[in-house]
Structure 1
Amino acid sequence: MANTIRRYEGRHAVITGGASGIGYRTAERIVSEGGTVSLWDVDAARIEEARSKLGNDTHGLALDVSDPAQVEKAARDTAASSGKIDILICSAGITGPNAKVADYPIDQWKRVFDINVNGLFYCNRFVVPFMQKNGYGRIVNVASIAGKEGNPNASAYSASKAAVIGLTKSLGKELVHDGITVNAITPATVDTPILQQLKPEFIDYMLSKIPMQRFGTVDELASLISWIASEECSFTTGAVFDISGGRATY
């Protein structure tokens, strides 16, 4: 049965990491509810595969979000081709290696921050002016429960996601008079391709921390993101939405 909800009629969304996982499933939701999307992803082949499934109206750009010049150009090109940017969903990210702080590779620490923090900052920074121009916007930054609680042997990831929460709260307050809301979600471990980056023992540890004793699903995250990114979520900004199977304690 076709989806008859049209929450996104006339709205255009940019989704980073949009060619797979949480980003792609959210793109499906937005398209099914009448919106159009631009997929920003580092994997050009996956972008084309996603576009073929989502429809000809889907725009795709292969870029590295850790490069500010690429992000600035992507924002400019997307706004020009689509006419506007109403929604930004930042789901691109990496976990980095599992290692103790004393052993953590410095180059990998920098890479995690380049993508998870700097890349997300660039996307927020360069998209916001287009939202301000139109007096409307919804930004959803994907953080993690690790940013609230800290996971052992995952200091770079935990610290980077804590930074995402802080940036979200700050930007949300800055834009309260511009018709733009900025919120974050803090999922526990979700069953996505990113799990392939983790060691089995670390996956087992993460599962043991979730009271529901299961990982989240991309459908559950896409459902929450879809509401936060809609006009319905109009009186909440600078907020952090827990989706952790009962793990979060605050």
Structure 2
Amino acid sequence: MKLNGKTAIVTGAASGFGTGIAAKFIAEGARVLVADINGTGAEAAAKSLGENAIACQVDVGSAASINAMAELAITTYGKLDILVNNAGVTHLPMPMETVTEDDFDRVYNVNIKSIYLAAKAFVPHMKANGAGAILNVASTAGVSPRPNLNWYNASKGWVITATKAMAVELAPFGIRVNALNPVAGETPLLKSFMGEDTPEMRAKFLSTIPIGRFSTPEDMGNAASFLCSDEASMITGVAMEVDGGRCI
């Protein structure tokens, strides 16, 4: 019960890594706001996670939507201990110059602007409390970029740099900021990363992961619960790879 009594928000929690992180947090004693742009999916996930989960529909690229989520969380819980910026999108694999401006803007809003908006909404609250843990979900793509995912790679590199900058600035206020770098997993984004989901493409992708399997929601939940717990009280500014050796 390493998160006993803690309150948390997990964005992008209707499926995939987000649901895995929320489930692990609840198993460790936390109460969790399950946030996602898919409101119906968030409701279903929260229901499956039990009484310590509540749902929230949110567009993480919208200041008004993020602020409404913040009001709901603080009204419901009184204070927020943990913020997990997990929501993320990608564009399909293609040469960089052929990615549309609309797709670029979508990647920017969900992967980058969301962290800025969440910081504006929650950092003052955490500063007032003198404590807090923020976890940003980046990617191995920000460490070891793949061709044809250029703007997604760049967005996740931004997340890693932002995490380190946030950590340095917020440490004096008792707020820790870390990141996770997962390799691709069995989530709704997998097909987008690969371009097509075929046995041959999966075999090719898995050949780059020494451990020989994709990341799972459980892997992410285990790493996230540690970094957001008091057991990691001396850890900040870290971008932990949860990648089976992919980046070695």
**TM-score band, normalised by shorter chain:** over 0.9
1:176 maps to which residue?
A: 171
What do the CA deviations read for 1:165-203 (whole angstroms, capped 9, x no partner)?
Answer: 011000000111111100011111112121133412765
Moved more, 58-67 or 201-210: 201-210
Moved more, 65-74 or 120-129: 120-129
After TM superposition, the score normalised by the length of structure 1 is 0.92
Contact 2:167 2:236 in 1 (8 A): yes
1:53-92 → structure 2 map (5 Å cutoff): 53-92=48-87
Hey, what's the Cα distance between the residues in 1 that align with 2:77 and 2:126? 13
1:1-250 → structure 2 map (5 Å cutoff): 6-198=1-193, 199-200=195-196, 205-249=204-248
What do the CA deviations read for 1:63-88 (whole angstroms, capped 9, x no partner)?
Answer: 11011121122112211111010001
Moved more, 142-151 or 103-112: 103-112
* Residues 95 and 206 (structure 1), Cα distance of their counterparts in 2 relative to 1, 3 Å cut: farther
Gapped regions of structure 2 (runs ≥ 5):
none
What do the CA deviations read for 1:58-115 (whole angstroms, capped 9, x no partner)?
Answer: 2221011011121122112211111010001111101212111122212211111111
Moved more, 162-171 or 46-55: 46-55
After TM superposition, the score normalised by the length of structure 2 is 0.93
Q: C-alpha displacement at 1:206, in angstroms?
A: 3.3
RMSD of equivalent CA atoms = 1.5
Query: What is the DSSP-based 3-state SS (H/G/I as helix, E as strand, rest coil) of the residue aligned with 1:193?
Result: coil
Amino-acid identity (%): 34
* Residues 163 and 203 (structure 1), Cα distance of their counterparts in 2 relative to 1, 3 Å cut: farther
Hey, what's the Cα distance between the residues in 1 that align with 2:75 and 2:162? 27
Query: What is the DSSP-based 3-state SS (H/G/I as helix, E as strand, rest coil) of the residue aligned with 2:179?
Result: strand
Contact 2:39 2:57 in 1 (8 A): yes
Q: C-alpha displacement at 1:52, in angstroms?
A: 1.4
Number of aligned residue pairs: 244
Q: Which fold has the larger relative contact order, with Cα–Cα distance below 8 Å and residues 6 or more apart in sequence?
A: 2
1:3 maps to which residue?
A: none
Contact 1:79 1:130 in 2 (8 A): no
Q: Which runs of 4+ in 1 moved over 4 A?
A: 201-205
Gapped regions of structure 1 (runs ≥ 5):
1-5
Q: C-alpha displacement at 1:43, in angstroms?
A: 0.7
Query: What is the DSSP-based 3-state SS (H/G/I as helix, E as strand, rest coil) of the residue aligned with 2:13?
Result: coil
